[in-house]
Structure 1
């Protein structure tokens, strides 16, 4: 295990981690994907979008991948070809990208990546959208948040969930991936100290409670604005709930259902740092939490936040068709999960999805959910 993972991200303190082997790639998962291809001569087209969890390209990763002799794309390891094969990737950016600003007072952890390498790394990972509604976007103040938005926008990466005004932070973003027009709204329930106000920039903060009048107004308005763009895929990318929990609370499940009831096609959940279950609800799909994607965090005991999935959502002629779960390992970068880690992830995902009656088919080292 790399020395960079030996700082455990928890208020309880540090946990030393050592002796971990580099995960061995699963040879049963292939990369020979032909996106937007007319595979059966029917004239139908396919678009596949990867949805990833918390993506933290800062702190010690700056030292590892920010050197002049290191290709920023190296952070994706042997997963890089897989990412390139997709039509695009959407993630939660769990840090700011700036060299300016001061650490926010009263916070235990501050995440900041140097945009000189971090933005090329995200681009190399085929990232087309990054949610900024989370509890680390403002770790170095408003100037760093503004730098983050500017750097991503200049690189052609769409953003949502933060801005200089409440209207800007809550506004949906739109972009095209393959043959699919995507609209995304993005909100977080933490941390309230980073909430956008009429007096200053910040994140789109809400209470994830459909009975709350302000939530219904703010989120409902954002969804209606997104629907007005007539997208093929309407996504809610939401940073909700506490860290280190294996299943969403009844309150969060109810809120995610409300999002689908309002017209969201796919709920892209993140915050827990561990994968949670997938649920088919109504006319939509809920990824209750997509876990971690890349970071320099330590490993939280049996929760194994160093094991996660890349959730590949395939649409056929704009309609959801399947979700393919590609197992990954995280160690200051991303790699294909080892056979042992992939088996653990399959068992874990099936167990965490059981309350939602979601069934999976085996797909090499991973899983697939037909829709």
Structure 2
């Protein structure tokens, strides 16, 4: 999504940390009597928007000169490397590729009609992502040709995709993957852009958000053998940490009228709550995974990786939810071209696993520790803001070596 010049004031945080401690133990797992003997299990990691602004392309060029890696002088690996220890541990990792890609040599564009380097797709695969949603308000920024180019590049990178299609036949075929012996389908839908809508004759190339369309797609996935269906949805208002009324209403309908097992939200570019709705986890917005808005707000640099543990029971699937806070570290802006940054200042754009960094506080300058603590506390507040820790056991993910 494009960045508004003036951001609305954030609503007050409601932090439920104490309640989380009390509630997590009783809500996280099914009772042993419900566990299916020999039942299967798997984990899913899902993250927010990958939105490649021009500053990120500049950083990739800078990193390529250092590493000697990448393609056509661009290496996104160092920017994304910080989340590899989290993402790579999941049995299924899902990203959200917000924009179409161009050729490896460019030209590339930022807001309002994005065209990203395809090199970022290889780096997303390298840190552990398996598949990505491609339905967003930017899907048709450069028309059907760019949609096809993007999906071709994802195929070459080894990334699955859901949300846009090259042909009418492809639009009817669900993205189903074998995950620890479980057939898992990934669907993706978005509200369409008023700025760059898909032409009527090419409507099949873009998954427009609608409950009936999602019902039909789920039915096709189930008929094709899917045992679990995960839905990525591009919805809501930009830069609001609370879900909108339409989001809440659609979450109710999705969890009542479909059999979708998990809903993953994007578009706000800031973190919104995670909660169970009618027994199904809904992540309203996981914020940005990797972005560098023209006027960073602090909140637009903070994100979350949702971590969902599926466990087969006698009645179906029990799902426990965890999260891991992320932060896009960006260098401060110098006031003139000759100014040198302070010795401990951030020098490069880097995506940080905040808990992983805070677990080694002696390695961090004081201002970085303070910034990471702020991100962790603020993200926790937004994620917990609809009571999921006490009611449903939402908690921070602790990684095991």
| TM superposition score category, shorter chain reference | 0.7 to 0.9
Corresponding residue to 1:335 among 344, 352, 358: 352
Residue 88 of structure 1 is matched in structure 2 by 92
* Cα distance, 1:188–1:177 mapped onto 2, change above 3 Å: same
The equivalent of 1:97 in structure 2 is 101
Q: 1:280 to 1:188 in 2, by over 3 A?
A: same
Q: Secondary structure at the match of 2:242?
A: coil
Which string of whole-angstrom CA distances, capped at 9 and with x for unpartnered residues, describes residues 190-235 of structure 1? 31433363247742223x5xxxxxx52x332112112212323201
Higher strand proportion: 1
1:286 paired residue among 282, 288, 302: 282
Aligned to 1:184: 186
Where does residue 268 of structure 2 map in the other structure? 272
Q: Which residue of 1 aligns with 2:42?
A: 47
Q: 1-side partners of 2:309 and 2:389: how far apart?
A: 21
Question: What corresponds to 1:197 in structure 2?
Answer: 200
Say yes or no: does 1:74 pair with 2:78: yes
The offset of 1:102, in angstroms, is 8.4
Larger RCO (CA within 8 A; separation ≥ 6):
2
Tell me if structure 2 keeps the 8 A contact 1:278–1:356: no
Structure 1's 46 and 223: CA in aligned 2 closer, same or farther, altered over 3 A? closer
What is the CA–CA distance in structure 2 between the aligned matches of 1:319 and 1:141, rounded to whole Å?
Answer: 39
Unaligned runs of 5+ in 1: 1-7, 15-41, 209-214, 367-371
| CA-CA distance at 1:81 after TM superposition | 1.8
1:345 aligns with 2:341: no
1:114 aligned residue: 117
Aligned pair count reads 319
Once the two structures are superposed, residues 240-290 of structure 1 have per-residue CA deviations (whole angstroms, 9 ceiling, x without a partner) of: 122111222222222122222211111111111111112212242111111
If each structure's helix is expressed as a fraction of its own residues, which one has the higher value? 2
Q: Is the 8 A contact 1:162 1:170 kept in 2?
A: no
Q: Is 1:237 aligned to 2:239, yes or no? A: no
Asked if 1 retains the 8 angstrom alpha-carbon contact of 2:322 and 2:397, the reply is no
Whole-angstrom distance in 1 between the partners of 2:397 and 2:295: 26
Please report how far the alpha carbon of residue 108 of structure 1 lies from its aligned counterpart in structure 2 after TM superposition: 4.8
Structure whose CA Rg is larger: 2
The 3 A distance-change label for structure 1 pair 346 and 299 is: farther
Question: Could you tell me the TM-score, scaled by structure 1's length?
Answer: 0.75
Q: RMSD of aligned C-alpha atoms?
A: 3.2
The 1-side partners of 2:203 and 2:286 are apart by 30
Q: Secondary structure at the match of 2:135?
A: coil
For 1:53 and 1:284, the matched residues in 2 are separated by: 19
